[in-house]
Structure 1
Amino acid sequence: MPQDIKELLKMETKQVADKMPEGHEARFLEKLETELPRNQKLSWSWMRVAASIVVILGLGFGTYKYFEKPVAIQVVDIETETSSEEITSKTLGDISPDLKKVEDYYLANINLELSKVSMTPENKELINSYISQLDALNKEYKRISVELTNSGPNELTVNALITNLKFRLNLMYRLKEQLQTLQTTDSITKRTNI
């Protein structure tokens, strides 16, 4: 049953040209209003405004943090009571990997020995005196590190840093020996008193 295409197109245009029944649009709008009232549109509009404000605040905060200049930290030297900008100093590890190994070895051993120390009322004064000596050596190490940063690596400053680390480790060993001696004398004293 072949049909002519021209006739099919004529019939199609005829069907399209037909109008909708009268009142169809009004009935459709009425049904639409009952299903989706206009109040609901208003209730969602405040959510859109709130979401927009949150997005704008978030973008503003992110932009502020991205473009924020780092705050300069002031360091006050207690001994000279002068203020200076924080100085980033080089360490032995910045010079070479081998020196970093040496520095890490000493610092790990110093921290290990320091962690083994237990403070009691009997040894508190002794430990505090050694800690103050360690602090002095640590300040000196930082000063030498600043010198290393300013003048560049040379044999004298590298040796001074390594010697400082050795002194600190030896200081910890002496503290350990002193504590053992103190503990031994305390135990002997307790035995004789019994």
Structure 2
Amino acid sequence: MAQDLRNLFEEDSKDQQTKMSEDHEARFLKKLENEFPKQQKSTNRFGILNIAASVVLLLGLSYGGYQYFQVPTKIVEPIKVVETELKSLGDVSPDLKKVEDYYLASINLELSKVQLTPENKELFDGYVERLKELNDEYKALTIELNANGPNESTLDALINNLKFRLNLVMRLKDKLQEFNDDAFSEERV
């Protein structure tokens, strides 16, 4: 039973002496060409998507790497801002901070109690304009405090400015009360 495979193939090829038709190879190549472009089109579409996805991924990783490895630059300006930061009255001493906080809280409280109506709007606007002037003067005094350092005259001027503003708000409140009382008594008559 053991036969040499080479001998078997030689005998088999002699027995079969069949020959393929002449146009068999041409028909085979034509069928192969018809099938090959179909596969190429579908591969091409996915190939373009793969390339686009790769480009997007590469750009994303590049940007992320750039952000991650970017060396932070030294920012000089915040240091300058801290050096030139204005000291207020409250920065000079804790007692003066209490005085400043008291006056500012009182001013804000009294302003919040004011009831603005169309009738008293003109009166209110006049007082608010004067308050703005006093506030600007307070800022100028604060700049002077920082330029010259704390001295008695500047500190007194800052405290007096706060007093003036509180008195102005109290006068505004009184005038509005009088205005409302006059309007109320005119309605009764």
Aligned equivalent of 2:179: 182
Higher strand share: 1
Q: What TM-score comes out, normalization by structure 2 length?
A: 0.62
- AA aligned opposite 1:156: S
Choose 88-97 or 141-150, whichever is displaced more. Answer: 88-97
Aligned equivalent of 1:116: 113
Higher helix share: 2
Among candidates 146, 152, 165, match of residue 168 of structure 1:
165
Among candidates 155, 158, 166, match of residue 158 of structure 1:
155
Aligned equivalent of 1:26: none
- 1:53-90 per-position Cα deviation (integer Å, ceiling 9, x unaligned): 33543464577794375779xxxxxxxxxxxxxx6421
- 1:74-109 per-position Cα deviation (integer Å, ceiling 9, x unaligned): xxxxxxxxxxxxx64210121112211111111111
2 CA distance for matches of 1:189 and 1:137?
35
The answer for unaligned runs of 5 or more in structure 2 is 1-45, 79-83
In the TM superposition, 1:44-193 aligns within 5 A as 50-51=56-57, 53-58=59-64, 60=66, 66-67=72-73, 69=75, 88-192=85-189
- CA separation of 1:188/1:150 partners in 2, compared to 1, >3 Å: closer, same or farther? same
2 CA distance for matches of 1:97 and 1:45?
68
1 CA distance for matches of 2:131 and 2:70?
43
Q: What TM-score comes out, normalization by structure 1 length?
A: 0.61
**Identity of paired residues, percent?**
47
- CA separation of 1:71/1:122 partners in 2, compared to 1, >3 Å: closer, same or farther? farther
Detail structure 1 runs of 4+ shifted over 2 Å in the superposition. 42-72
Q: Which has the larger radius of gyration?
A: 2
The answer for unaligned runs of 5 or more in structure 1 is 1-39, 73-86
Aligned residues: 141
